[in-house]
Structure formats: C-alpha cells, structure tokens
Amino acid sequence: MLQTEEALRQLIAENIAYYRRQNGDTQADLAEKLNYSDKSVSKWERGDGTPDIFILSKIADLYGVTVQDLLRTKKVPKSHTRHVLITLLSIGLVWLTMTVLFCAAKILGVLPDWAWLLFIFAIPISAIVWEVFSSMWWGLLQQALSSSLIIWGIGLSLVLSIRLESVFLLLVICGVLQVLLILFYLLKYQSGKKKA
C-alpha cells in the first residue's frame, strides 16, 4: 500500500510540474495563482507532499485539464480553447453593452455628438477584462500586451473626449508609461527565470 501511495504522489508531482511548464509558469507563478508559497509547489513537485483535492481542482482549472488528468500516467495536451472562449465572450459582452447603449440612445433620440466615443471607451475596458484573464491563465506576454492596450486605450479615450488644445500631450505620458511597462515585464521575466 505504501508503494502505491508513493507512486501516486510521484505521478501527481510529475503531472503538476509538466502542466506548469507547459503553461510557461514558474513555481512562483503557480504559487501566486493558488495563494500558496513557492516552497509548497516545490514540495509537491518533488513528491514530498500532495495538495488536497481542492487545490488539485484549482490547478486543473488553471491549466485547462481535469483532476483525472493530474492522476494519469499519459499526459494530456493542454487545451486553451475553454479559456480563450471565456475571455472572448467576456470581451464580447463589453462590446455588446456599448452597442446597446449606443442603439438605445439613437432610438430614444438622445444621441449626443460624442456617443461614438462609447466604442473607443470599450477598448480599454476590453483590455482590462483581457488583463484579468491573462493574469489567471496565461503568461507574461499576454499580460504585457493587455497592459499596453489599457495604457493606449485610456490615452486615446482621453485625447478624443477632452476638448483642449494640448490634450495630445497625454500620448507622450502613454509613451513613457509604455517604456516603464516594458522594463517592468522584463524585470518580472528575469526574476521568474532565476526562480525556475
């Protein structure tokens, strides 16, 4: 019985490490997503301990597999289809909301001159939704792209909605923020590589 338990613990350890690497996560990334320490993840991946069923379920959800996949000897290729569909549906709801607001204003005859800006405002809101899902399911590249879209979407929204002569200077601020964002994600990437 002890040998079977040990074998199962090793199998779970291998599968957690496999799916974590397939997702491009470090042990620290997975620990952060689970609100655990990276020492716990390291312990699980060495087979010195096993997460409880709730945590196994969370790991399976994060990596788009089932708990059963974490217990199998044959590795199941990772599928992001579900995560992509959830993200696209959520972003689609943002655009549907803006479209409904625009059409309602048009139907009621209270369409102001700036109503088309609703669709510009949808850009940073969509980027925020993308950022939330990127931080849950994907790596640094998607997070960096969604953060960039937030910066430039907010900048564009402000430039187009504020009627001042020098408002375009806000785009200079966006440029500086973009450089800082790139440096931040490069630092985060380097620290992730060192921990791995």
Considering its fold, how many domains does the chain have in total? Answer: 2
Residue 134: inside a domain, yes or no? Answer: yes
- Residue 11: CATH number of its domain: 1.10.260.40
Give me the average pLDDT of each 10-residue run along the chain (196 residues). 73 89 85 88 89 89 84 70 88 96 86 85 96 84 92 94 88 95 88 62
Structural domain boundaries enclosing 139: 81-195
User: Helix %, strand %, coil % for the chain, to 5?
Assistant: 75, 0, 25
Cβ burial, residue 194 (10 Å; 0-12/13-18/19+): exposed
Distance CA 168, CA 31 (A): 42
Note the pLDDT of residue 8. Answer: 85
Note the pLDDT of residue 91. Answer: 96
Note the pLDDT of residue 66. Answer: 84
- Interior/surface letters 160-177, b for 16+ CB within 10 angstroms, e for the rest: eeeeeeeeeebeeebeeb
Query: Is the domain of 184 the same as that of 111?
Result: yes
Distance CA 152, CA 79 (A): 31
pTM of the predicted model, to two decimals?
Answer: 0.63
